[in-house]
Structure formats: structure tokens, C-alpha cells
Amino acid sequence: MTFQTEKEIIRAHHRALASATADTIPAALAEQTHPDWQWRGMHPWHEQRGAAAVAAAFWQPFLNAMSRVQRREDVFFAGRNQIDGFQSVWVVSMGHLMGLFDAPFLAIRPTRRIAMLRYAEFHRIEGGKIVETAFFCDLLHLMRQAGQCPLPPQTGAHLIQPGPATHDGLLHTPQPEAEGVRTLDLICRMIGAINEHQVFSGPQEELAQHWHDDMLWWGPEGIGATFTIPRYIEQHQRPFRTHLADRAFNGHIARLAEGSYGGFFGWPNLSLTPKGGYMGLPAGPRADMRVVDIYRRDGDKLAENWIFIDMLHFLNMQGLDVLARLKLI
């Protein structure tokens, strides 16, 4: 299956959004979506139903705040969902929504400068319509661009994160089926290694099974980006495993691959108990992480990984209202 029909639905959807205003965005969203469209968004939007509700929750406030918005897409692929036995077809888009930050958005102050909101979308297509969407974006990353930093310093780097080093992430044309199978199999084996990490002599051996040594891990704001296996261990994996206890994997809603690209999301993926120290914050009650991972495979190992986490929801479950804290900064 080439997924060309499903890809064109999403490309048409993006074209409609590109020419929409805050006034016309409800109609633009309705063009390619089912009337009962299920939309999952980050905190504070959470779950919405139908184009009008999605427009009111996210798109109208965003377009009122950001002028001259452009979609700077870096990754685009489609595939059948392993989680439901390869029954449903999903299309994935990742990149930045770029604009001029001219008016307040949520509690984030405008800068009148260029701003780039990292995003990742998973769309399920059925009957020629978008029936389900997961929309992840990095609000902490946008806050940092605006000079509002509500959290302690992070372990990784803050960057406007680029697309694939190979510049081949936009899979608009059909891809060899066998390549997608290889990518999905590698992702699944990597997940298995995480769940059984105790069988390895240490994190270096565990990661080397499935990752190139010069891996790039494009983590979300609050954690940050890291480069190479040793620095990934130092700047993300060790703090994550040391300061978060009782990790429970709740599963994924979608997991798919095409060509050398693949990814997944959950709602939530993980439940954990902060012991104190993670992201520089004190211990807190058990909380959920809604996570997106998108990967690029190079040969028989993974080379790049882009991660989105609903950090505001994770922190809100622990009693920290980041959007309220912004008003004090």
C-alpha cells in the first residue's frame, strides 16, 4: 500500500489551514475532517470533538497571537498502525509552526519577533476523512523563546530543532514496503531493550544495540537536546531513571513506520512517581506522560529521535500550574 490517498488528504488539510484566518479557521478545519473528529491536544486543550471545538480551543487563539504563520515541515510519512493489527492508516507530520509573535498566547507574552512552535501530528484517515488527530506541541519551548522560563535549568541544550540530517524526511512519494518493515521492527526491538534494560551490563551496552554512537536526541524543552550515546546517558537517561520511580508503560495508540522513518504516541504512554530532582523539581505525586517519539533509521540502527512530551500536563498533575506561574515571571 502506498498511502498516497491518505497523504493527499493531509496535504489538502494543511493547504486549507495555510490560507485560513482566525475567522475562517473553523470552516478550513471542517473541509477534510469528520463531523465527529476526535482531537487530542496538549494541556490546557486536552480532548476536543469537531472542527468548531478544535478551532476555538487552539487555532483561533494561536492565529490571533501569531501573524503570517507558515508550516515548516521536516518529517511526513504514513503507515498502518501496528497497535490495532495494522488495520488503520495514519499520517504523521512534524516540524514547526512559524510566525510573528504579535499578541499574547495563553500566558506567554508576545515578542513581536519570529517564533517557532515545535509540533507533531498523528492523523487517522478513514472513509476519506480525518477521524482522529493527536496534536503535540512544545509550549515550554515557545516560552523560552519569549524569555519566560518557568522551570529550573535543564540538563540538555535549548535549540530551535532542525529536521533530519539527511534532509529526506518528507515522504511524499511511495516508499519500499520492506524499508518501513525494517524501521518498525528496529523501533520495537529498541522498546523491548528499554523494558528489559536490566539484562545489559549498563546503559552504554543497552543503547549500542539499536543506536548509532553519534545519535541525536531532540528532547523537549525542560529536558533539552543531546548528542552521542554518552551525553544522552548523562543528560537525559540517567536523570530520568534516577529521579522517576515505579515506571509503568501504558501502551501506545498508534505506532507506524514508512521508509526510514517511524514513530508512536500514547495517551498516556507512561505513569511515574517523581522522587525529587527530575527537571530540578521536588518530589511529587504520581503523574502521566503523554509522549510522541519520531525516529530516523540509518542502516540497521537508529540515528535521530524527536520527542514531544505534554510537560504542562505532567507538571499540572503534580500541582504545578506552569501557565499560572508564567504570570509571575
pLDDT tens string 153-188: 999 999 999 999 999 999 999 999 999 999 999 999
Q: Tell me: the pLDDT tens digits for 193-226?
A: 887 777 777 899 999 999 999 999 999 999 999 9
Q: Is the whole-model pTM more than 0.85?
A: yes
Could you give the CA distance from residue 92 to residue 262 in angstroms, rounded to a whole number?
9
Question: What strands lie across the sheet with 270-274, from one edge to the other?
Answer: 244-249, 270-274, 287-289
Q: What is the pLDDT of residue 86?
A: 98
Q: Tell me: the pLDDT tens digits for 18-33?
A: 999 999 999 999 999 9
How do the domains of the chain map onto residue ranges?
4-145, 177-326
Q: Tell me: the pLDDT tens digits for 239-281?
A: 999 999 999 999 999 999 999 999 999 999 999 999 999 998 9
Common-topology check for domains 4-145 and 177-326: yes
Could you give the CA distance from residue 295 to residue 302 in angstroms, rounded to a whole number?
7
Given a cut of 80, is residue 329 above it in pLDDT? Answer: no
Could you give the CA distance from residue 77 to residue 93 in angstroms, rounded to a whole number?
7
CATH class of 177-326: alpha beta
How would you label 140-151 residue by residue, b for 16+ Cβ within 10 Å and e otherwise? bbbbbbbebbbb
Could you give the CA distance from residue 251 to residue 106 in angstroms, rounded to a whole number?
30
- The CATH code belonging to domain 4-145 is 3.10.450.50
* Residue 90 CA neighbour count, 13 Å, CB half: 28
